[in-house]
C-alpha cells in the first residue's frame, strides 16, 4: 500500500515553496521583517507571540542564537494574525503563478488531503506546532484549502520526527550532521541555513564520531545508517495515522493527482532545488 512517506513527499512542494518564494519575503518585509525573522515568525505565528525558547524547541535544529536574533523582536513589529494572513496571501499568489491552469484541478485532491488532515486533528497530543495550526480556521478557497491540508500533514509529521530524534538522543545540530552524513544534502547547506558555525558543526561531528555514528569525514557508519533508518521508520509509522482514512485506490488517486501539481511547482522555479 502507498505509505505515509510517499503521500507526504508527492505533495510537499506545494507547501515547501512558501519558504522560498519572493511572494512570502515581500509580504513579510512589508510587515517590517527581514528574511530570517519572516521565516521564524510566519511559521510560528500559529502559536501566538511566543518566546524564542518556544521556537527553538518546536523548530529543533536551528542555532538558538539565530532564533534569538529574530524572536521576540518580530512581535514588536507585527502580529501573529497579520503574519498568518500574509502567509496565506503569499501562498495563494505563488501557487497560482506556479500552477497556472492546473489551479482548476485541485478540488478532488484537496478533498482527499483534507480528509487525512482532519483525521490528524483527532490526535494533536504531543505535537505542539501541528496543534497550533490545527486550531486555526480552514481557508475557504479550494487551492488554499489544499495548501492548508498539506501544511497540517507536514507539521504533524514534523512533530513526530522530533520525537523520533529525541528517542535516539540526537540534538538539533546532531540531527543535521546525521542527515548530511547520509549524502542526501551537503553539510555546508545545512550548517549555513540553520545558523551553526563551523566550530559548532565540527564539535557535533566529533561527538557523533565518539558514538561511532559517523566516520572522520562525517559520513554515516553502519551504526549511523541503522540509527537513521530507525528515525525515519518511526517518523513514517507515527505519520501513518491520518492517511488511514484513505484506502489503496484513494491513495493511488492521491499520488496521480498530486504528481503534475508538484512537477509544475518545481518546473516554475518555486523551489531552489529540483529533487
pLDDT at 275: 55
Structural domain span for residue 152:
4-166+232-267
Residue spans of the chain under pLDDT 70? 274-275
238 lies in some domain: yes
- Reference 119, options 232, 240, 10; nearest CA is 240
- Reference 239, options 9, 13, 66; nearest CA is 9
How many structural domains is the chain composed of? 1
pLDDT at 274: 61
pLDDT at 1: 82
190 lies in some domain: no
127 lies in some domain: yes
55 lies in some domain: yes
pLDDT at 181: 98
178 lies in some domain: no
- Reference 167, options 221, 112, 235, 99; nearest CA is 235
Q: Is the pTM of this model over 0.95?
A: yes
176 lies in some domain: no
53 lies in some domain: yes
274 lies in some domain: no
Amino acid at each position: 500500500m502507498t505509505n505515509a512517506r510517499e503521500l507526504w513527499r508527492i505533495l510537499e512542494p506545494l507547501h515547501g515553496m512558501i519558504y522560498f518564494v519572493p511572494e512570502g519575503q515581500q509580504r513579510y518585509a512589508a510587515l517590517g521583517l527581514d528574511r530570517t525573522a519572516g521565516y521564524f515568525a510566519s511559521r510560528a505565528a500559529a502559536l501566538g507571540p511566543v518566546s524564542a525558547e518556544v521556537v527553538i524547541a518546536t523548530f529543533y535544529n536551528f542555532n538558538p542564537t539565530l532564533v534569538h536574533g529574530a524572536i521576540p523582536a518580530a512581535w514588536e513589529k507585527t502580529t501573529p494574525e497579520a503574519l498568518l494572513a500574509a502567509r496565506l496571501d503569499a501562498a495563494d499568489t505563488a501557487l497560482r503563478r506556479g500552477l497556472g491552469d492546473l489551479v482548476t484541478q485541485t478540488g478532488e485532491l484537496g478533498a482527499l488531503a483534507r480528509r487525512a488532515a482532519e483525521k490528524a486533528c483527532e490526535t494533536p497530543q504531543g505535537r505542539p506546532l501541528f496543534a497550533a495550526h490545527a486550531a486555526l480556521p480552514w481557508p475557504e478557497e479550494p487551492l488554499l484549502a489544499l495548501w492548508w491540508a498539506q501544511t497540517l500533514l507536514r507539521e504533524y509529521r514534523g512533530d513526530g520526527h522530533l520525537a523520533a530524534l529525541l528517542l535516539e538522543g540526537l540534538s538539533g545540530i546532531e540531527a543535521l550532521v546525521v542527515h548530511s552524513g547520509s549524502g542526501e544534502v551537503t553539510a555546508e547547506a545545512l550548517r549555513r541555513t540553520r545558523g551553526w558555525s563551523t566550530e559548532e558543526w565540527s564539535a557535533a561531528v566529533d561527538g557523533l564520531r565518539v558514538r561511532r555514528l559517523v566516520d572522520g569525514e562525517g559520513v554515516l557508519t553502519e551504526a549511523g545508517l541503522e540509527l537513521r533508518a530507525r528515525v525515519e521508520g518511526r517518523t513514517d509509522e507515527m505519520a501513518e495515522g491520518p492517511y488511514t482514512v484513505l484506502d489503496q485506490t484513494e491513495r493511488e488517486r492521491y499520488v496521480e493527482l498530486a504528481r503534475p501539481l508538484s512537477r509544475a511547482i518545481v518546473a516554475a522555479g518555486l523551489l531552489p532545488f529540483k529533487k
